Chain A
C-alpha cells in the first residue's frame, strides 16, 4: 500500500507541484494519472521513489516512510520499485541485456558491477524479463539499434528485472506512435494482472486512460480533482481536469488521424 499524507512539493523556483495530497493506492492496482503538463503528475510519481523529495508531509510504502529514509534505506525502497520513462532512458551504446541488468544492480556487489560480471542468476532473471516483453532475441543487440517501441519494452524489462512490487511509468507512450502505444500499454496491463504488481501510469491521452485505467485520478495544479473508476470518467470529468473542453489533441486515436 502506497500512502500520501498531506504530501507537498515546492520546487526552488516557488512552484507548488504537489499541494497537501492525500492518496492511498492499494496493492495490485492499475492506476492512471491524467492532467495537463505541469499539473504535478511527474512529481507525484517521483515522490513515490524519492527521486523528487517532499517539502512537507510524507509518502509511505507499506508503512515505511520515503521521506525519512536514509540513503541506504532509500536504495532498498527503490530496489522494489521499477520505473519506466517517457524517453526510455536506456544506455544506447551498450547491449539490451546490459540495460536490463541495471535492474539487478541493487542485488549485485559493487565490485561485480564495476568489472561488469553479473551473477548467472541475475543474467537469468534479466533474460526472463526480456522473454516476458517478447524481445529476448535482441538481448545482444545495441539498444540504439532498436525501434522506439522495442526500446520502451527494454525499459519495461529493466523494471521487471528488479522483481518489483510497484511499477511507476512516467508518460511511457508519449514518444511512441498510436499502435505501438497500445502494445506497450497492453504489456503493462498484462504485467499488472499476471504478476500483481501495483502499476501507476501517467498518461496524456484520455482514451488510453479510460481503456487501461482500473482507477483514474485527475490532477490539476498540484491537486487531486478526480478519483474514480475508468468507466466513471466521462467528458465532463475530463473538462474539469483540463479546465477546458476536450479537443482532438487530447485523444490518441484522433491524433493519429490528424
Chain B
C-alpha cells in the first residue's frame, strides 16, 4: 500500500465467523442412514441387472399398445375427467378460506390458526388411496367414494400450499386496510387475495393434474374412473390394453400441463 492511503479508512477487517460443522455432520449422518437402510433392507442394484431380462416377455406384451381398445376407455376416461373436475372445484374452493384461517397473517386468531394447521396436517398424513379405501368400504364401489377421497386430499394440499404463500405476502397493504377501518375478512379479501391469486390458480391446476393421475391409483381399490378399468384389464393380463390406458393418461396430463403453463403466463 502507498502512503497515500488515508488513515481514517483503515478500519480493521473482521475475522470470519467460526466454521460450523453442523452442515457437514448432517450430510454425513444422512449418508450413514442411507447406507444402513440399504443394508438392512437388502437393497442391491446388481439384482436389477440380473433380473432385468427375466420379465422381458411380460414387458414385451405391453408393446405395442392396443389402439383398438381406445374407444372402450372413453367412458371411463370421461368419468376420470369429471371426477377430477368436481373434486378440484369443491376441494380448492374449500381450501381458499381454510388457507386464510391457517396463516398467521390472515387468521382471525391464534387458536383458529393452530387448530386449522393441525387439522390440515392430520388430513395430509394419509395418502389419497387410504381415503379411497375408507370411503369405498363406507359407501360403495364407484366414482362417489373416489370423489370424496380426492376432495379430502385436495383441501389438504391446496390449503397447505396457499397458507404458506399467504405467510409470505407483503403485509403493508394489510396494515393500510386495517388503518382504514376494514374488518379482518375485508382486509383478507382486498389486501391479501390479489397478492396470492396467481399462486392459487397455479396450485389448483396442479391439483387437477394430481387428480387425473391419482384416479389411476384409487380406481384400483374400486373408486371409479380409469383406474378401475386399468385394474380390470391388468387382472386378465391384457397388458396391451393397460399400456393403451397409460399412454392416454400420459397425453392427458401433458395437455393439462400445457394449458396450465399458458394460463399462468397470462396471470403473472
Interface residues of A (CB under 8 A from B): 49, 51, 75-83, 85, 87-94, 98, 101-103, 105-106, 108, 110, 113-114, 116, 155, 158-159, 162, 168
B186 near A113 with CB under 8 A, answer yes
Q: Does B195 contact A93, Cβ atoms closer than 8 Å?
A: yes
By a CB distance below 8 angstroms, the chain B residues around A102 are 173, 176-177, 180, 182, 190-191
- Pair count A-B, CB < 8 A: 86
Q: A83-B176, A93-B198 are in contact. List 4 more A-B contacts (CB 8 A).
A: A75-B181, A85-B172, A85-B176, A93-B195
| Cα–Cα, bound, A82→B175 (Å) | 12
Contact of B180 with A103 in the complex, beta carbons under 8 Å: yes
CB proximity of B173 to chain A, nearest CB, Å? 5
List residues 161-213 of chain B with CB under 8 A from any CB of chain A.
170, 172-173, 175-183, 185-186, 189-191, 194-195, 197-198
In whole angstroms, how far apart are the Cα atoms of A106 and B181 in the complex?
5
CB distance from A129 to the nearest CB of B (A): 12
Pick the residue among B177, B181, B190, B191 that contacts A76 (CB under 8 A): B181
Interface size class for chain B? 20 to 34
Task: Assess the B181–A78 pair: CB atoms within 8 A.
Answer: yes
Do A82 and B180 form a contact, CB below 8 Å, given A98-B190, A113-B190? Answer: yes
- Smallest CB–CB gap between A232 and chain B, Å? 32
B181 lies within 8 A of A105 (CB):
yes
When chains A and B are docked, how far (Å) is the Cα of A76 from the Cα of B71? 65
Query: With a CB–CB cut-off of 8 A, which chain B residues contact A75?
Result: 181-183
Alpha-carbon separation in the docked complex, A90 to B176 (Å): 8
Cβ B182 vs Cβ A106 within 8 A: yes
* B172 touches which of A77, A79, A87, A158 (Cβ 8 Å): A87
Chain B at the A interface: SS class: helix
Q: How far, in angstroms, from A159 to B181 measured CA to CA in the complex?
A: 11
Instruction: Determine how close the nearest CB of chain A comes to the CB of B72; give it in whole angstroms.
Output: 45
Of all chain B residues, the one with the shortest Cβ separation from A46 is B179
Q: A80 vs B179: C-alpha distance in the bound complex, in angstroms?
A: 10
Contacts of A49 in B (CB 8 A): 179
- Sorted nearest first, the 6 A-B pairs with minimum C-beta distance are A79-B181, A106-B181, A89-B172, A105-B182, A78-B181, A83-B179
Minimum CB–CB distance for A221 against chain B, Å: 25
Pairs across A and B, CB under 8 Å, 23 listed:
A51-B175, A78-B179, A80-B181, A82-B179, A82-B180, A83-B179, A85-B176, A87-B172, A89-B173, A89-B175, A93-B194, A98-B190, A102-B176, A102-B177, A102-B182, A102-B190, A102-B191, A105-B182, A105-B183, A110-B185, A114-B186, A116-B189, A159-B180
When C-beta atoms are compared, the residue in chain B nearest to A104 turns out to be B180
In angstroms, Cα B177 to Cα A113, docked, is 12
Contacts of A82 in B (CB 8 A): 179-180
B190 to chain A minimum Cβ distance, whole angstroms, is: 6
Q: Which residues of A contact B181 (CB under 8 A)?
A: 75-80, 105-106, 162
A residues less than 8 Å from B197 (CB atoms): 93
Q: Are B180 and A162 in contact (CB under 8 A)?
A: yes
Chain A residue, CB-CB nearest to B174? A89
User: CA–CA, A117 to B177, complex, Å?
Assistant: 17
CA distance A168 to B172 in the complex (A): 15
Residues on B with beta carbons closer than 8 Å to the beta carbon of A91: 173, 190-191, 194-195
Chain A residues, Cβ within 8 Å of B176: 83, 85, 89-90, 102, 155, 158
Q: How far is the CB of B194 from chain A (nearest CB, A)?
A: 4
A105 in contact with B179 (CB, 8 Å):
no
Tell me whether A78 and B175 are in contact (CB under 8 A).
no
